[in-house]
Amino acid sequence: MTVQKKKFPPRPRSKSARIEQAVAVNEALTRYYPDARCELDYRTPLELLVATVLSAQTTDVRVNSVTPELFDRYPTALDYAEADREEMEDILRPLGFFRAKAKSLIGMGQALTERYDGEVPADQKKLIGLPGVGRKTANVVLGNAFGIPGITVDTHVGRLARRLGWSRNEDPVKVEADIAELLPEEEWTMACHRLIFHGRRICHSRKPACEVCPIADLCPSYPLT
């Protein structure tokens, strides 16, 4: 059986040319999405951490529909640690995978209480050590709650990175490293917000709206997609 190799769009051969293209894309998206931001509603690092954990395999809109009640019921890490699981599951039920998510939040609350006096650590390694927290979640929290630059590779960022020729990898960690080589560190967090906005609004997975895309002239996948 012959395994067909995945096709990638052509891209500039030199690294300097790829950097120039990536910077131009980011600048264009900055103008097009001046309001780009994290679309999860939160007020504190703990709320953002919780909301990001809950956002796995569901939409930000749906997460935002349940977090007001959740945040009111559990304002501190200790409240999560001591939560009644069935009560929490009832709140999370609209999200799907609510049992697993309740388990993660309770475990996360216990870990924060025991290890960090109930405070969310501004450290990637410590965040990843919490139940239910992976590298993507850690980077969301660091970039948005603490102002520490991070590259969040969700499905949108990964897809656009490949279409734009920034990466030829499927592994999010490798995509993150590829993007880090092309954009200045101070742009990482906001660049990802812009890519996510663009992926949700124009550069869709199945049928990208290339005819109205503000960066079509910079995209090596246009008009191939």
- List the catalytic residue out of 136, 171, 207, 217: 136
- 26 vs 194: CA distance, rounded Å: 8
- List the catalytic residue out of 41, 79, 123, 154: 154
Burial group, residue 124, by CB count within 10 angstroms (0-12, 13-18, 19+): middle
Catalytic annotation on 103? no
Decide: 141 and 120 in contact? Cβ < 8 Å: yes
CB under 8 Å to 35, separation ≥6 — which residues? none
Q: Which of left, alpha, beta for 57 (phi over 0: left; psi -120 to 50: alpha)? A: left
- 172 vs 89: CA distance, rounded Å: 30
Quote the crossing angle between the two packed helices 188-201 and 135-145, to the nearest 10°. Answer: 110
Catalytic annotation on 178? no
Decide: 186 and 192 in contact? Cβ < 8 Å: no
Q: Could you give the residue numbers annotated as active site?
A: 136, 154
